[in-house]
Amino acid sequence: MTKGHQNVTNILFICSRNKWRSPTGEHIWRHHPFISVRSAGTSVKANRTVNSKDIQWANIIFVMEEKHKNRLLAQFTRHIAHKEIHILDIPDEYQYLDNALVNMMKSSVNHYLGISEQSN
């Protein structure tokens, strides 16, 4: 996907119920000029449950916990084989847009993406 002449990276944030953590990630980066972002949950009770189209769309997948990676690998084995997956190690103890959660996500994701704090 491209915006103008720049390549856009498709990023997918995953947590359990797509209620607090992954939507926070989506909110933080949704206006970045070179990032397209989605969020979803691994639970069938998620606000938005991850599907194979999400996995195929994503260039990079950020999961909050190891269990999320394991669920994706089990459920989407064929689609996820060559995807870049990063575990952020963010426990389910934060509310949507909680300052500590935002700071943790910015620090970790910016590091993985090689972008400066001022970019988002």
So what's the pLDDT on residue 2?
44
Tell me the pLDDT tens digit for each residue of 94-113.
999 999 999 999 999 999 99
CATH (one of 3.40.1550.10, 3.40.50.1860, 3.90.226.30, 3.40.50.2300) for 2-115: 3.40.50.2300
User: In the sheet that 60-63 helps form, which strands lie side by side, from edge to edge?
Assistant: 35-41, 9-15, 60-63, 84-87
Q: What is the pLDDT of residue 118?
A: 56
Please say whether the beta carbons of 26 and 39 come within 8 A: yes
Amino acid at 9: T
Determine how many CB atoms are found less than 10 A away from the CB of residue 44.
7
Reported as half-sphere exposure (CB side, CA atoms, 13 A), residue 7 has a value of 4
Q: Report pTM.
A: 0.91
Three-class SS string for 43-75? CCCCCCECCHHHHHHCCEEEECCHHHHHHHHHH
Q: What percent of the chain has pLDDT over 90?
A: 87
User: Domain spans of the chain?
Assistant: 2-115
- Name the amino acid, one letter, at 75: Q
Residue 3 has pLDDT above 50, yes or no: no
Residue 75 has pLDDT above 50, yes or no: yes
